[in-house]
Structure 1
């Protein structure tokens, strides 16, 4: 006999071997033990979760001559015939290729003949959602009132496509995605039975990559074993076979993006390409890494949820403590959208590079999301240089030595010059010279103030009106306000009282403010 794939070789023969579907297995076993078996079942759920396996076990159990605790004994003639595929009592139909009315009519004609051996005639219809509308209608009556010896088991991965008339005639069982722990345990049983040496990290990664599908995990394991035949299967070898990337790389990528280090980000991507990694898988795994980072930020009790090693969890917590949760959530949204684009892209590397460049150079993108990054970087710089900035902005530069020490210099304090308060004529000079002021500003203030509109408020106050709420808040307080105040005061040598206002989307500037930039006459105040 030729080689048999692992997922076929280790298909569960009895209910007890079915993993991760205890809620279904217990119910079916109790029905068999109490002789309360239904005539129509609907098994629905994602691929590889055990729908067909449970259907075959149920077909053997209802025909078994000596069932053991609701499971087939595997020793009687009926169990052996069904397992070998030679029994006429179990008919498997693939609805994907047999989806017409004539195929269903053949089933209806066969149902009228009772089984020559055994108790039940079982029809397993896989991917039943592929049946045509006419085929569903032809099946309805038989599905509702079949002969006492007939049983239908319908399996589907897309239950939404089934007519309600079919759903109402079946007992529905939803197969859950299988947990990573359960899949890892089953893989360990398989490799032990096969006499293959595999480290735990390798099995854990395969289990996670399978995305809740036991069949996918066994297929991936089969692939990894074949590539490294006769050798110990290690974590690094699994990564090579599956085109995956180690978690440490994702940490470096996140740090590069968070600090807007474009050289580091693009160099890392280049290394990934040279190593031959699958780029779509790389992006998907990075989204998963960001998800773990978000969960660790949300709570300290997430060890079981994030599902990574102790060492990686320690590094993840360290990175989470230094990151902003809003930024992480935004990164998840950006890379999730990128993952969807890569599905149909021919130049995947270029798409990823464009995304990395935009994230590291937010000034290239004119939207609120990129503004958040620009503000965050500015705030970080402000915090790093906070003491120096405050000393310079307050005009106090101290040069001191220990009091009374030989040769010590007395403390020198440079007092900041007190400026006269600006009057409307002075404000008019600022307005008329606004273009010159903009040219002398440093970025990013220069970029932000280019769209500003000027107005006159109460008490000779200059109003700077922006269309961005975050910018208005930024320049109304803190170091950014001090920086703008310095620029305005130095432009005319007087102290200008100003406030930065935000105009709502539903408001117009002309209805709420006086447009000083459009007025050419002098501003006169009454005595």
Structure 2
């Protein structure tokens, strides 16, 4: 049996032209050799598997070649090239700084630098993973690196440039290697597959390139793995998906379609199918965010070039991006990012992802609700046809059952009811005049109170009332009471129970302390939404600040509460003195 050599070694580039995806590096190096402008020290930095050590070896081989070609490539036949290829060159030394990182190792290297080459022009020292050198070793290397002999050239390689001392960086000519593009990796793999007589789908090779994340060595390792997996020397997309345990992007298209339709059930079933196949929930969230990002870049023809996927997938992305609004994608990215951030700290991670999917499924409805027309004449006319005749409620005994249709009253003076906003789902319309009389503060609530719906019945809202201070105060207090029943939070109750001013469409309120400010900040969105739903103020906003000197102090102690009540009703003071009562509890 022949000895198997992995593709990463068997097809390692031996010339500058065969280096994949680093043309800016190879062109610069070839020009430096052509013009004899070689630096005394090079630093090759970049992610793993992109060709740093390979380029260092090619550079070392080329500058000592005795018969360079016209395009500055080594001949591969001279004594220097042959000895290099046989790992027997006395002029090229490789040091692994990960295992030789002490001061003594660097001193031995410095001792070798003193002796000139016996054959050839240069002695080249390649130090791989140079960031692993100890600080003492770096310091011992400084002087030699700054003033080496004319025949010595140092080539340093590292994946972590930030760990190298600035004094070392300042003495080197720095080359930054890029991540290799998916298409370049796929082209290189296709070339190898052709040489090895392997039938490979282009889509499968691009999938390997995406999984490699810009590293050609990783891509070659995965290529070998998939060739070994296939007994027929064929690489298919389905086999690569199964062997590399990659979540098919078709799942993301299907789950996005379900979210755009607002189907919570379908999205949860798809997620359950993904989990049962053994995929991690966090991996799914990250992939879904990447999918939303790809859809967003497809919204503009200028940014489509940022999409690094196969042609078949590109067509699907373009099609789905036309059906997804930019508002949905931006909101989905925001919701998904929060899910990604808090995934690791969640106690029930599956439920955490499912809640995220539920929120995403409700985004289309929420965005549609926010963009409904409020002043469009055609929309108002269409809604008017759906609404029953106006009903004026005068007394509690005259009020019909909740949600019932009642005939139009015979009073000719009753004003016609305006069209209900399109967001309301109502079968009965309540006249604005009656609503105003029934709900404004200071009126008799028993004579014209709106019937309170039960918990199981749909909420029917009246027409929006004009924005006045009285109306704003009323609905503010209504919101405060609703929160008190739901949450029973004393902090919220104290924060909401205070006076405020109304300027144009801005509510201005002064608070006692930072705790109240934080509480109102958390309530802001719910409060503004509640008020906008009931008041004709589409741009209503809330402006609050901490200003204790402007706030009328609320009564807290027993004496303060009695003084507050006695101020409103002086007879209480008389009663206290007559009966000899005390306010101390």
TM range, smaller chain: 0.7 to 0.9
- Correspondence for 2:575: none
Residues 237 and 421 of structure 1: CA distance in aligned 2, closer, same or farther (over 3 Å): closer
- Correspondence for 1:97: 99
Deviation at 1:247, TM superposition (A): 2.1
For 1:47-58, what aligned pairs fall within 5 Å after superposition? 47-58=48-59
Residues 510 and 430 of structure 1: CA distance in aligned 2, closer, same or farther (over 3 Å): farther
- Correspondence for 1:391: 384
For 1:186-335, what aligned pairs fall within 5 Å after superposition? 186-258=188-260, 261-277=263-279, 279-297=281-299, 299-335=300-336
CA distance in 2, matches of 1:139, 1:22: 31
CA distance in 2, matches of 1:434, 1:67: 98
- 1:333-361 deviations in Å (ceiling 9; x for gaps): 5545655666x7899xx524412324415
1:107 counterpart = 2:109? yes
Deviation at 1:222, TM superposition (A): 1.6
1:450 counterpart = 2:441? no
Bigger mean CA deviation after superposition, 207-216 or 131-140: 207-216
Deviation at 1:149, TM superposition (A): 1.8
Q: 2:358 aligns with which of 354, 357, 360?
A: 360
Q: 1:503 aligns with which of 524, 542, 545?
A: 542
- Correspondence for 2:427: none
- Correspondence for 2:136: 134
- 1:306-364 deviations in Å (ceiling 9; x for gaps): 1334554444334333434344234335545655666x7899xx52441232441589x
CA distance in 2, matches of 1:148, 1:171: 16
CA distance in 1, matches of 2:132, 2:460: 58
CA distance in 1, matches of 2:183, 2:290: 17
Deviation at 1:94, TM superposition (A): 1.5
Residues 65 and 511 of structure 1: CA distance in aligned 2, closer, same or farther (over 3 Å): same
Unaligned runs of 5+ in 2: 391-406, 410-415, 418-430, 462-477, 484-495, 510-519, 555-560, 569-585
Residues 20 and 345 of structure 1: CA distance in aligned 2, closer, same or farther (over 3 Å): farther
- Correspondence for 1:376: 367
- Correspondence for 1:405: none
> Higher relative contact order at CA 8 Å, sep ≥6: structure 1 or structure 2?
1
- 1:439-458 deviations in Å (ceiling 9; x for gaps): 77957999998347686989
CA RMSD of aligned residues (A): 4.4
- Correspondence for 2:180: 178
The 8 Å contact of residues 128 and 155 in structure 1, kept in 2 or not, is answered as yes
Deviation at 1:271, TM superposition (A): 1.3
The 8 Å contact of residues 91 and 122 in structure 1, kept in 2 or not, is answered as yes
Deviation at 1:56, TM superposition (A): 0.4
The 8 Å contact of residues 73 and 79 in structure 1, kept in 2 or not, is answered as yes
Deviation at 1:198, TM superposition (A): 0.5
User: Aligned with 2:285: secondary structure?
Assistant: helix
1:427 counterpart = 2:441? yes
Unaligned runs of 5+ in 1: 364-369, 398-411, 486-496, 523-527
- Correspondence for 1:30: 31
- 1:412-456 deviations in Å (ceiling 9; x for gaps): 999645635846995146899999969779579999983476869
Q: 2:85 aligns with which of 83, 86, 93?
A: 83
The 8 Å contact of residues 290 and 328 in structure 1, kept in 2 or not, is answered as yes
CA distance in 1, matches of 2:549, 2:537: 19
The 8 Å contact of residues 339 and 356 in structure 2, kept in 1 or not, is answered as no
Residues 424 and 302 of structure 1: CA distance in aligned 2, closer, same or farther (over 3 Å): closer
Aligned length: 475
CA distance in 2, matches of 1:444, 1:332: 33
- 1:477-514 deviations in Å (ceiling 9; x for gaps): 6xx44xxx7xxxxxxxxxxx999954334257995899
CA distance in 1, matches of 2:341, 2:39: 42
User: Aligned with 1:289: secondary structure?
Assistant: helix
Instruction: Give the TM-score taking structure 2 as reference length.
Output: 0.69
The 8 Å contact of residues 258 and 264 in structure 2, kept in 1 or not, is answered as yes
CA distance in 2, matches of 1:274, 1:48: 33
Bigger mean CA deviation after superposition, 105-114 or 255-264: 255-264
CA distance in 2, matches of 1:285, 1:337: 14
User: Aligned with 1:504: secondary structure?
Assistant: strand
Larger radius of gyration: 2
Bigger mean CA deviation after superposition, 110-119 or 467-476: 467-476
- Correspondence for 1:489: none
CA distance in 1, matches of 2:438, 2:202: 76
Residues 268 and 15 of structure 1: CA distance in aligned 2, closer, same or farther (over 3 Å): same
Residues 359 and 285 of structure 1: CA distance in aligned 2, closer, same or farther (over 3 Å): closer
Residues 507 and 317 of structure 1: CA distance in aligned 2, closer, same or farther (over 3 Å): farther
Residues 395 and 425 of structure 1: CA distance in aligned 2, closer, same or farther (over 3 Å): closer
Residues 436 and 136 of structure 1: CA distance in aligned 2, closer, same or farther (over 3 Å): farther
CA distance in 1, matches of 2:117, 2:500: 95
User: Aligned with 1:319: secondary structure?
Assistant: helix
Deviation at 1:292, TM superposition (A): 0.6
CA distance in 1, matches of 2:387, 2:47: 65
- Correspondence for 1:407: none
Residues 66 and 311 of structure 1: CA distance in aligned 2, closer, same or farther (over 3 Å): closer
Deviation at 1:279, TM superposition (A): 4.8
